[in-house]
């Protein structure tokens, strides 16, 4: 524990002297290691310690937040008083009785990254670098990065919640650059999870490196993507960027309550094709968006957001749940002690359906097959979203045709989800850092192979040619 329970109580009491009706302290100690290789060199070996505390006081619908990385008792008491005073109102002396919530699931880290010699981590990075370069002579640059983080948190609030937790995450990334002297293309692969060094038992760095390099080289031979409306098949292995953008953000309760979501006020309504079920689940072992407790001390859970096309629920944190007199769904997350928690996704996915993924492609006359999605963005207010196609192919007469590059898909969340006419029985995960209000948190996204009869592909008009 980063602080004794009695000290935490004193800090929360000081925070409520000013008059707020809820106080919380989030203490964090984060140790990180990072190794990066580029240009065939181990360029950087980093390690760091970042610790601090965020104190939050809520009064009615209003929040005051303060943070410091001076973790002396005096400094925290002072920050608590300042924050409490800014919240205003009449002072209260809460009766705090500690209760320690139990998580809905648990996990064991098999190989703590702080017990793995740094040489072993460096060797992993080197192996991946070499493997990527060996794929093709047109690979001109490779960057490989390894990172691990051990985050210890203590969360205590005036309702008596007291949680201490340790989150361990490892991540590995390979970015390959290929050039034929005329054009440059890139390929990216990553693996990561709420787990220790055992990440590499399931994910071979050499295999990841080959996949990234292979994609970069294939994209050199790709033709510019066509432009306009067409049928789109998103492969299960493509990752879950689309569902994250198309509806995930719109189901976060803060955006819903502020009427900033197209899904506001639609609980119980049909918002997607009956083939579509969407779930947010923090309790899938080892996934990048998983956790035992969220950043407010609420146990992580599995929440069905859309069932058979009907909107079931939104994702809540403490504050948005309180506004509706209900319980949080364990989606209160923050990037660090510097940030106040907001509703965020964990691992979000479209549940698998019944169709054979191969048959979906076979039964598509003409269209675009997305084999890998890149990043995306959504305007939650009207549901318009875009995402980048990192690897795509034309589908011609039910066959996978030539590769295309430079495509972006744009659409409207509810419109696209209503149109989905095939859902495969596979499920492919991707991981990433989701940005919202300037805060990045680790998330997982997934979907089965799905088909959308019509989407706008942002590409290049054919008559322009290549150059």
Partner 1 sequence: MDYPASAKKYLALAQEVVERAARGGAEAEAYIIAGEDLNIEIREQEVEALTTARERGLGLRVIIDGRVGFAYTTDFSRSALEETAEQARANAARATPDEHNCLPPPEEYPHLDLFDPQIEDTPLKDKIELAKEIERQARAADGRVKITESCSYSDSRYIVAVANSRGVGATYYGANCGASIFVVAVEGEESQTGFGLAYSLKMADLDPARIGREGAARAVRLLGGKRIPTQRAPVIFDPYVTVNFLGVIAPALAADAVQKGKSLFRGKVRERVASPVVNIIDDGRLAGGLASAPFDGEGVPTQRTVLVEGGVLQGFLHNTYTAAREGVRSTGNGARGSFKATPEVGTTNIYLEAGDRTPEELVREVSRGLYVTDVLGMHTANPISGDFSVGIMGLWIEHGEFAGPVRGVAIAGNIIELLKSIEAVGSDLTFFGSTGAPSIRVAGMSISGT
Choose among 422, 426, 442: nearest CA to 434.
442
Degrees, nearest 5: CA angle 448-429-379: 80
Q: How far is the CB of 366 from partner 1 (least distance, A)?
A: 16
Quick one: 27 or 96, whose CB is closer to partner 1?
A: 27
- Neighbouring-strand partners of residue 396: 366, 399
Q: How far is the CB of 98 from partner 1 (least distance, A)?
A: 27
Quick one: 270 or 312, whose CB is closer to partner 1?
A: 270
Quick one: 83 or 161, whose CB is closer to partner 1?
A: 83
Q: How far is the CB of 177 from partner 1 (least distance, A)?
A: 6
Q: How far is the CB of 21 from partner 1 (least distance, A)?
A: 15
Backbone angles phi, psi at 434, to 5 degrees: -95, 130
Q: How far is the CB of 5 from partner 1 (least distance, A)?
A: 22
Q: How far is the CB of 168 from partner 1 (least distance, A)?
A: 19
Quick one: 52 or 101, whose CB is closer to partner 1?
A: 52
Q: How far is the CB of 391 from partner 1 (least distance, A)?
A: 13
| Residues 390 and 374: beta-carbon distance below 8 Å | yes
Euclidean distance between CA atoms 454 and 226, whole angstroms: 14
User: In terms of C-beta density within 10 A (0-12 exposed, 13-18 middle, 19 or more buried), how is residue 221 classed?
Assistant: middle
User: In terms of C-beta density within 10 A (0-12 exposed, 13-18 middle, 19 or more buried), how is residue 7 classed?
Assistant: middle
Euclidean distance between CA atoms 141 and 124, whole angstroms: 18
Quick one: 157 or 412, whose CB is closer to partner 1?
A: 412
Q: How far is the CB of 356 from partner 1 (least distance, A)?
A: 31
Quick one: 49 or 137, whose CB is closer to partner 1?
A: 49
DSSP state of 221: T
Looking only at the bridges linking them, the beta strands covering 399-405 and 62-68 are unpaired
| Number of Cβ atoms within 10 Å of the Cβ of 338 | 16
User: How far is CA 41 from each of CA 37, 38, 291, rounded to the nearest angstrom?
Assistant: 5, 5, 35
| Residue whose structure tokens are 């998103």 | 234
Quick one: 411 or 448, whose CB is closer to partner 1?
A: 411
Quick one: 303 or 412, whose CB is closer to partner 1?
A: 412
Quick one: 83 or 128, whose CB is closer to partner 1?
A: 83
Q: What's the first-to-final CA gap in the chain, in angstroms? A: 61
Q: How far is the CB of 226 from partner 1 (least distance, A)?
A: 9
Find the helix packing angle between 118-134 and 205-220, rounded to 10°.
Answer: 30
The DSSP element (H or E) to which 165 belongs, if any, is strand 162-179
């Amino acid at each position: 524990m980063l602080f004794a329970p009695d000290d935490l109580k004193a800090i929360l009491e000081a925070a409520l002297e000013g008059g707020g009706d809820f106080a919380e302290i989030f203490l964090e100690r984060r140790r990180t290691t990072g190794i990066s290789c580029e240009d065939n060199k181990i360029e950087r070996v980093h390690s760091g310690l970042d610790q601090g505390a965020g104190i939050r006081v809520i009064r009615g619908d209003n929040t005051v937040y303060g943070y410091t990385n001076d973790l002396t008792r005096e400094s925290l008491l002072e920050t608590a008083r300042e924050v409490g005073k800014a919240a205003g109102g009449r002072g209260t002396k809460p009766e705090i009785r500690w209760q320690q919530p139990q998580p809905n699931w648990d996990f064991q880290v098999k190989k703590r990254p702080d017990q793995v010699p740094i040489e072993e981590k460096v060797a992993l990075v080197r192996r991946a670098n070499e493997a990527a370069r060996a794929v093709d002579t047109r690979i001109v640059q490779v960057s490989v990065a390894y990172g691990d983080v051990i985050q210890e948190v203590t969360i205590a609030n005036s309702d008596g919640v007291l949680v201490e937790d340790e989150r361990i995450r490892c991540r590995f990334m390979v970015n390959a650059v290929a050039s034929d002297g005329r054009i440059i293309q890139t390929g990216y692969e990553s693996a990561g999870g709420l787990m220790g060094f055992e990440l590499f038992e399931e994910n071979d760095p050499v295999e990841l490196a080959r996949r990234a390099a292979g994609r970069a080289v294939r994209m050199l031979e790709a033709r510019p993507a066509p432009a306009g409306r067409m049928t789109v098949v998103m492969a299960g292995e493509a990752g879950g960027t689309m569902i994250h953008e198309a509806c995930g953000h719109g189901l976060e309760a803060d955006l819903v309550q502020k009427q900033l979501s197209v899904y506001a006020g639609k609980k119980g309504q049909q918002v997607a094709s009956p083939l579509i079920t969407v779930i947010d689940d923090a309790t899938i072992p080892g996934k990048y968006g998983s956790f035992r407790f969220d950043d407010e001390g609420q146990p992580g859970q599995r929440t069905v957001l859309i069932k058979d096309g009907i909107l079931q629920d939104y994702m809540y944190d403490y504050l948005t749940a309180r506004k509706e007199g209900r319980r949080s769904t364990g989606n209160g997350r923050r990037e660090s002690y510097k940030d106040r928690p907001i509703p965020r996704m964990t691992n979000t996915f479209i549940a698998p359906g019944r169709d054979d993924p191969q048959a979906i492609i076979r039964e598509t006359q003409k269209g675009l097959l997305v084999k890998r999605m890149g990043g995306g963005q959504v305007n939650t207010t009207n549901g318009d979203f875009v995402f980048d196609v990192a690897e795509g192919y034309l589908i011609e007469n039910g066959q996978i045709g030539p590769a295309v590059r430079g495509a972006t898909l744009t659409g409207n969340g509810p419109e696209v989800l209503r149109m989905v006419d095939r859902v495969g029985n596979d499920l492919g995960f991707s991981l990433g850092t989701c940005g919202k209000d300037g805060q990045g948190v680790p998330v997982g996204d997934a979907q089965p192979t799905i088909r959308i009869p019509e989407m706008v592909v942002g590409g290049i008009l054919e008559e322009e040619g290549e150059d």
